[in-house]
Amino acid sequence: MDIFLTNTATRSKERFTPLNPDNVRMYVCGPTVYDRAHLGNARPVIVFDVLYRLLRHLASENGWGKVTYVRNFTDVDDKINARAAESKRTIGEITAETTQWFLDDMAAVGALEPDHMPRATQYVPQMVAMISDLIGKGHAYAREGHVLFRVRSYEGYGKLSGRSVDDMIAGARVEVAPFKEDPMDFVLWKPSDADQPGWDSPWGRGRPGWHIECSAMAQELLGDSFDIHGGGNDLMFPHHENEIAQSCCAHPEGGFAKVWLHNEMLQVEGKKMSKSLGNFFTVRDLLDQGVPGEVIRFVMLSTHYRKPMDWTEKKAREASRTLMKWRKLTGELTEDLNGETAPTPAVLEALCDDLNTAGAIALMHDLASQGALAELRASARIMGLLADDMGHWVERPGQILDAWVQRLTQAREVALETKNFAELDRLKAVLVGAGVEVQMSKAGVVLSAGPEVDLAELENLT
Ligand code: AMP
Ligand code: ZN
């Protein structure tokens, strides 16, 4: 089955053909590890996880040997240094802790681990070698402990994002510095003070710029050219333009990435997520509030990756209802214990059509209503949904309600004895307010979650 992907570099939807069918190669820019991943950061992770799953699923049918997925950790960056200074902790502690948070939070939203997760600090020799090579080829120059990339030396600069260098100079927040030949030139290497992380290099003790990290790690793990490069569209300029310039000038015989994929940004309730608007939250915040990782994933996949997506509480509630229903329907499946049922071709076709996850979800609703449950589950699993190890949350309403049944039963006994029903009535009103249907009779207390029940609220009620 053919996959079609919208390539930012050509601005068209193209049939995907791997450069080397023995090894389909994908690189995605990963996080800078100084803080918890915010909800927007989870979007590329989930989108490219679906692509990774799809490529792996189609590998044998399409005669591909293996799929290699690389996503880096940027663990040398001035934001990390600043965080260490303000928190009086070491850089190593901060990056180790944040890296583990990222892995935990992305596992919670059902993302598989990439095949390689290189940390920038482990590839500094490769970065130094690439920078030396660029200097040797006339594409970079050393000045005052810095090394800069000579943007005017690469005629392809700006092609990815469709801008000319002059437009970029006019619009960009480029840093003018006395050691730059041209304001557009960007840093490959910069000097470090004694208290900043640094490595010895031909240009003195220093540290790499952000862009060279991805070029060097991609080169080392995937080679001069590879199939897919992904990331959020905020990275297209300057980060991806700079990656292309560095890699194509250092290895003109390779073409660096063939297909460039960019996800659009995530917003919250119609607004850009920002700390000043008070609508900034992390994946962990949501998980801690009781929003299951599977629900986060479902909401993300209900919008096409090339469209801006809006996170709303309403969508999360709807996703939770749908998943709960699907899990109930498929939970009893005794057939297909070995997962032999294949995903429905129409769902695969939707995913192969530029990752139309929203279309795939619509088709899965049809499968659910037709009672095609084994196909529903197989189709969902291709997208990382309805996995066995992500389903514990559906038991939670039952557990929460069981605790409330006990509490209400006791309160009812006390009320009958004392003839004071005030506390019992209060508890009942609280539950009804949270969307629970309450029935009390001599036979006991029966609670059932209504369609609008808010689990997180229910758990926190007193
Ligand atoms: P950063 O740590 O800012 O470099 O971002 C890591 C990844 O998250 C990059 O691929 C970004 O493009 C992506 N990203 C950052 N903010 C958002 C957002 N609001 N929506 C979607 N993706 C985002
Ligand atoms: Zn990158």
Residue 215: closest CA among 252, 257, 243 = 243
Per-residue pLDDT of the chain (462 residues; tens, 9 = 90+): 999 999 999 999 999 999 999 999 999 999 999 999 999 999 999 999 999 999 999 999 999 999 999 999 999 999 999 999 999 999 999 999 999 999 999 999 999 999 999 999 999 999 999 999 999 999 999 999 999 999 999 999 999 998 887 777 776 666 778 889 998 999 999 999 998 999 999 999 999 999 999 999 999 999 999 999 999 999 999 999 999 999 999 999 999 999 999 999 999 999 998 888 888 899 999 999 989 999 999 999 999 999 999 999 999 999 999 999 999 899 877 666 566 789 999 999 999 999 999 999 999 999 999 999 999 999 999 999 999 888 888 888 788 888 899 999 999 999 999 999 999 999 999 999 888 999 998 888 999 887 677 766 777 776
Q: Which residues surround ligand 2, an ion (CB under 5 A)?
A: 29, 214
Distance, CA 314 to ligand 1 centroid (Å)?
A: 23
Is this structure's pTM higher than 0.85? yes
Task: Please report the pLDDT score of residue 171 as a whole number.
Answer: 67
Two structure tokens written together for 283: 């994946």
Q: Is 40 in the pocket of ligand 1 (CB under 6 A)?
A: yes
β 266-268/271-272 pair status: antiparallel
Task: Please report the pLDDT score of residue 252 as a whole number.
Answer: 95
Task: Please report the pLDDT score of residue 133 as a whole number.
Answer: 98
C-alpha span between 179 and 73 (Å, rounded) = 29
Task: Please report the pLDDT score of residue 445 as a whole number.
Answer: 92
Give the Å distances, CA to CA, from 40 to 8, 272, 343: 20, 10, 29
C-alpha span between 73 and 60 (Å, rounded) = 30
C-alpha span between 21 and 59 (Å, rounded) = 9
Give the position, in ligand 1's atom list, of the atom nearest the Cα of 37. 2
For the packed helices 345-352 and 373-382, what is the interaxial angle rounded to 10 degrees?
A: 20
Q: Is 29 in the pocket of ligand 1 (CB under 6 A)?
A: yes
Q: Is 144 in the pocket of ligand 1 (CB under 6 A)?
A: no
- For residue 263, which ligand has an atom nearest its CA? 1
- For residue 118, which ligand has an atom nearest its CA? 2
Task: Please report the pLDDT score of residue 456 as a whole number.
Answer: 67
CB 323 within 8 A of CB 394: yes
Residue 355: closest CA among 405, 316, 274, 301 = 301
Ligand 1, atom 17: closest residue by C-alpha: 40
Give the position, in ligand 1's atom list, of the atom nearest the Cα of 32. 2
Ligand 1 pocket test, pick from 32, 39, 41, 72 with the greatest ligand atom count within 8 Å of Cβ, gives: 41
Q: Is 230 in the pocket of ligand 1 (CB under 6 A)?
A: no
Two structure tokens written together for 53: 């799953």
